[in-house]
Amino acid sequence: MIQDPQHYVTGVLNRDSLMLAKTITLIESTLPAHQELARTIVDRLLPHTGRSIRVGITGVPGAGKSTFIERFGTMLTAQGHRVAVLAIDPSSSRSGGSILGDKTRMEKLAIDPNAFIRPSPSGGTLGGVGRRTRETLLVCEAAGYDVVIIETMGVGQSETTVASMVDFFLVLMIAGAGDELQGMKKGVLEVADAVVINKADGDNLVRAESAQKEYQSALNMLMPASPNWRPPVLTCSAREGKGIDAIWKTILDHRDKLTESGDLAEKRKAQDLDWMNFLLDDGLRQWFYASPHVRETLPRLRRDVEEKKTSPAAAADSLLAFLQTRNGK
């Protein structure tokens, strides 16, 4: 493996997909050495980032996310855009392995020279999906992709994480998925910039349209995140390619309105701050648990708590006091 960060930086800036892929591997790696290298690379690429439209897509399983992205992505590349798709697939908790099958449903986009698709397993990385997806997004921007799509499976916490790093968060639904909606985090609708009812075709059309009304009235009851944007509910058929164009227009409209009002710049700023806060929390925790004193003391304290020799609060206090003594030195 090449150790020189500049090698990767130059490769990414030259839009070399091999080097882009290798950089993403470094970002995703669990090895400290790889992460350090990745950090340097991302830092050097930072001036070249921020110029894409960042779109997050989530939806219940079976909503047709991949088929939608296939249509959406090929439409964009045909218009001259360069599209990167980052897909997050679940890792098995038992084996740790994963099946990354997104490209099987993105047959045309997968071979499109103006598209780059990278599926990633959800498991096994320090800092979780949030850290590496955010950095991967930046690297894709530096490699000249002007639309970056982040696809996430529709169950679990990853969608709010993804919503916190994109400009536009799209929730894909299908008619009759009311029950599934219960299974999804309710919060998903709160962070949606648009809800799209897919599979509005054939004998499903009427149901899709009535679902559209239901979701619209549900959304109307929520407080919009920005006074300048009321999340619309749209319908489309990814299979037949209908309504895809209108979704892109909505995304552009959102960008124009929020750029004009200054909301978009605020949003990205807030996202950066949130991100810094997360990194601080995460870093503190990692540093704390990695320190020799804590590693040495913690098992004993755990035992003491279990055996009721000390109270949980007293045990925590005694360990946290270590922070102060360090501070005092």
Partner 1 sequence: MAHHPHLPKWKETAEKEMKGKSVDTLSWTTPEGITVKPLYTAEDLEGMESVNTLPGLAPYVRGPMATMYTGRPWTIRQYAGFSTAKESNAFFHTALASGQKGLSVAFDLATHRGYDSDHPRVVGDVGKAGVAIDSVEDMKILFNGIPLDRMSVSMTMNGAVIPILAMYIIAAEEQGVSRDKLEGTIQNDILKEYLTRNTYIYPPAPSMRIVADIIAYCSREMPKYNTISISGYHMMEAGANSVLQTAFTLADGVEYVRAALRSGMDVDTFAPRLSFFFGIGMNFFMDIAMLRAARFLWHRLMSQFNPRNPKSSMLRTHCQTSGWSLTEQDPYNNIIRTTLEAMTAALGGTQSLHTNSFDEAIGLPTDLSSRIARNTQLIIQEESEICHVIDPLGGSYYLESLTSSIVSEAQKIFDEIEKLGGMAKAIESGMPKLRIEESAARKQARVDQGLDVIVGVNKYKLANETIDFEVREVPATVRDEQISRLKEIKASRDKKAVEKALADLTSVAKNGGNLLEAALPAVRARATLGEISDAMESVFGRFVATTRCISGAYASGYSGDNNAVTALRRRTTAFLEKQGRRPRILVTKMGQDGHDRGFKVIASAYADLGFDVDISPMFQSPEEAAKMAIENDVHVVGASSLAAGHKLLIPALIEELKRIGGGEILVVAGGVIPPRDYDFLYKAGVKAVFGPGTPIPESADRTLALLEEKYLRRI
**Interface residue list for partner 1 (CB under 8 A):** 16-18, 21-22, 24-25, 28-31, 34, 66-67, 70, 91-92, 94-101, 103-108, 110-111, 116-119, 121, 124
Instruction: Compute the C-alpha angle 309/288/24, nearest 5°.
Output: 135
Answer whether 278's CB lies under 8 Å from 130's CB.
yes
- For tokens 């990278």, what's the residue? 118
Provide, rounded to whole angstroms, the least separation between the CB of residue 243 and partner 1: 17
The CA distance from 154 to 166, in Å, is 16
CB of 132 to partner 1, least distance (A): 11
Q: Min. distance of Cβ 20 from partner 1 in angstroms?
A: 8
Distance CA 267, CA 211 (A): 30
For the CB of residue 238, give the shortest distance to partner 1 in the complex, in Å.
11
Closer residue to partner 1 in complex, CB, 54/118: 118
Select 106 or 192, whichever has its Cβ closest to partner 1. Answer: 106
Q: Strands of 115-121's sheet, edge to edge?
A: 115-121, 83-89, 147-152, 53-59, 168-174, 194-198, 233-235
Q: Are 208 and 200 in contact (CB under 8 A)?
A: yes
Q: Cβ 200 to partner 1, closest distance in Å?
A: 15
Give me the least distance between CB of 10 and partner 1, in Å please: 14
Structure tokens at 36: 């350090």
> Residue 120 or residue 161: which is nearer to partner 1 going by CB?
120
- Cβ distance to partner 1 smaller for residue 52 or 120: 120
Name which of 106 and 251 has its Cβ closer to partner 1. Answer: 106
Do residues 133 and 41 lie in contact, with contact meaning Cβ atoms separated by under 8 Å?
Answer: no
Closest CB to partner 1 among residues 201, 304: 201
Sign of the CA dihedral 24, 30, 33, 39?
A: positive
